[in-house]
Structure 1
């Protein structure tokens, strides 16, 4: 695989953060699942027997924590706040999954719960990281980000290559929008203004003040979340200042909610669904990109 400058790219090294204390690896769990649950307890839990429900919660807790860590870890780092959120989502999924389980054996139950937990946590992670772009675009960019070892600019390029993405390759415009949604445009030390004493205030200072956490204790995930949140808001504020047709066409380009994803290959459908003359869709899209770039710098 080669970069835009023609140089061969080596496979990125991705260090794996250590698991939280008391949580085993997936291999260790598979080899020794420590299942301490009976079919009778599962049936009783489905009938809302409190002691049986407690037994199910206890029996699934290790897998919940393990998967929460797994889905909150990417590009060699772990978002600990997201880990906690995913673990809670997993516990709720176990509770709700009890009613849907229609198997018999304990093995069937844990297979069902494993699938349920993975689905719930995967969906939650994508909701957290897509911020204004469609689920499919976010998933594609997330894959590229993993391949790029967390480098968002490398990921933007990789997302456009068939070698890395196959049939899920994004257009340059869509990859650019996905990066903006994920990362944002502000640097950590970019001056955001001045304090009452005349000192320059940066994004780091703002995050520390908002979170109540000392600057030295802030983690990369704090910065990333702030950038994603700010970018999502800024994208929508910029779109709001555009004309209706241009706004719709740009939102359709990447699938920004509530407009579905149309990309550049479904212009006929876009024309029909939103009443834009087909021969004008490309023109509107081109002008919309220019207008968006023009407005972006002036939107706060």
Structure 2
């Protein structure tokens, strides 16, 4: 039975045959979309699929009367069902993260080369566009949302998180807490520092970024291993341009780049007291 406006009106009026036609037309879509949206494995995956299917069926009847006939009924319902299930999954996994925080985290994740913990720090240390400023709390919520509800940092009651268990050190260092050594701590902290430096450098203008990189590679001041003109030429080479920047431009880029880097680099995070 094809679905028409008359079928919809009859189903809304309680007609059993019309209602059965609606169910028949949408049930396959519901099962298919639930399988696409659900994530996980085992019993958890099956429970999630069943919950999403229930959400999909409710959405069908909630939006049934809004179908205008402009689009094919099954096409319209696919969008309704998918949207309802997607929103339900987002709400479940967001851990309180708002949309703006998630967008900012996504941009910082690219800066941090996929390191979620570094991205979290950058969210509240790097200058953000107006409206996208993120507090430490919102940045953490965004990271948890990205990592999923099973993240080691997900709330576990009484002010504790799953990370307060042995899994915490397993996550950071790859070994149980009792086996964590000073070398493990230093190695983990070094990875954080490298990630922060790379991410912050990546946020600078190309000229400032390359000047700082060259100075860090070849020395500074009297220890600089190349002439000012060689620095200018190397900057142009790395920027893939035939226009060689002036000495004034290079010096200005270095000074302002250092100021910008120092202003946002989270020294307390990169060099915690416990690691000094």
Structure with the larger helix share: 2
TMscore range, shorter length = 0.3 to 0.5
Question: How does the TM-score come out when normalised to structure 1?
Answer: 0.38
- What is the TM-score of this pair, normalised by structure 2? 0.41
